[in-house]
Structures are given as C-alpha cells and as structure tokens.
C-alpha cells in the first residue's frame, strides 16, 4: 500500500522507477523529498540490498497531543546483507534539523516555535513506537538524515 502523492512545489517529489525491480517490494515507489530519492537510488544500486520498500510498513502509535491512536507509515523498509548477516531495518528519512529539539530563540515567531514543538512531539511518538515495533519484529529502526545520505552520492 502506498499513500497518494501530494504535490508540493517546495519538495522534490515523484515516482521512482527502479533499475532492479526484483528488489523493490512496491509496485510503485513514491519519493517525497530529494533525500528519499537518494535513499531509493542507494537501495536500487547497492548489491548488498536484498529487498526494500517504500511506506509499506504501518506502525500504530498513540499521539500524545491529540490523545488518539494513529497510523505511522514508515518511510522505508530495507533488508540488507552486512558481512555474513542479513539485517532488516525500518528507515525514517528526515532533514537533520527535524531530528533535533526546536530552537526556542526569542527572535523567532511564537507560532513557528509552537509548530516545530508539535512536530517534534509527534515525531517522537512515532519513533518510540517504531523502535518497539521493529524490535518485536526482528528489525531495527533508524533515522537517516542528509549527513548519512550524502555519503552515498
């Protein structure tokens, strides 16, 4: 299952056509940012990646702000050969800034800081549940940012 592509001119978005479709779980892979596209290319081209998918793992989580259960579509699943071992990962792709607590500088608009705080708490709810889900299912949850993805140009 894949979520629909919502066009937003601020981000590089589109449908990815793998060169190695036998490795891709999805019938269509949607990238929602340039960072996700880099990861797709890495997965498609890397011979150690045995299988990968986009938004194909759904993790239920409790949203502590709105006090209700929601669904978290993890960005990617990847099964990769590391030495003599095969590891499975749930992978979230985020800009580094979004993986850090919001900066509460007095020069910033209060509405901007509030929005970032809500996003921060929401992401932490998702990530906490994703870590637990991954552990229960023999996987590891990781967050990749441009710092890690820029190594794979």
Is 23 contained in some domain? Answer: no
Task: Please give the average per-residue pLDDT across 18-22, as a whole number.
Answer: 95
| Count: domains in the chain | 1
Round to whole Å and give the CA distance between 62 and 22: 35
pTM of the model: 0.87
pLDDT digits (tens, 9 = 90+) for 93-134: 999 989 988 877 767 788 888 888 888 999 999 999 999 999
Q: Which residue has the higher pLDDT, 10 or 109?
A: 109
pLDDT digits (tens, 9 = 90+) for 24-48: 999 888 999 999 999 999 999 999 9
- The pLDDT of residue 1 is above 50: no
pLDDT given at position 109:
83
Enzyme catalytic residues? 36, 75, 94
Is 4 contained in some domain? Answer: no
Round to whole Å and give the CA distance between 102 and 65: 16
**What Cα–Cα distance (Å) separates residue 65 from each residue in 37, 55, 57, 113?**
31, 24, 23, 16
Q: What tokens does 31 get?
A: 């990238």
Q: What range does the domain containing 108 cover?
A: 54-152
């Amino acid at each position: 299952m894949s979520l629909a592509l919502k066009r937003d001119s601020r981000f590089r978005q589109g449908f990815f056509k793998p060169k190695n479709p036998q490795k891709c779980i999805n019938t269509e892979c949607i990238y929602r940012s340039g960072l996700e596209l880099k990861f797709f290319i890495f997965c498609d081209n890397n011979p150690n990646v045995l299988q990968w998918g986009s938004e194909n793992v759904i993790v239920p989580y409790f949203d502590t702000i709105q006090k209700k259960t929601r669904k978290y579509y993890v960005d990617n699943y990847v099964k990769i050969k590391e030495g003599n071992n095969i590891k499975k990962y749930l992978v979230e792709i985020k800009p580094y800034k979004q993986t850090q607590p919001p900066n509460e500088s007095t020069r910033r608009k209060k509405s901007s800081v509030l929005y970032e705080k809500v996003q921060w708490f929401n992401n932490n709810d998702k990530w906490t549940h994703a870590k637990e889900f991954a552990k229960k299912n023999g996987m590891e949850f990781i967050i990749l940012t441009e710092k890690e993805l820029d190594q794979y140009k």
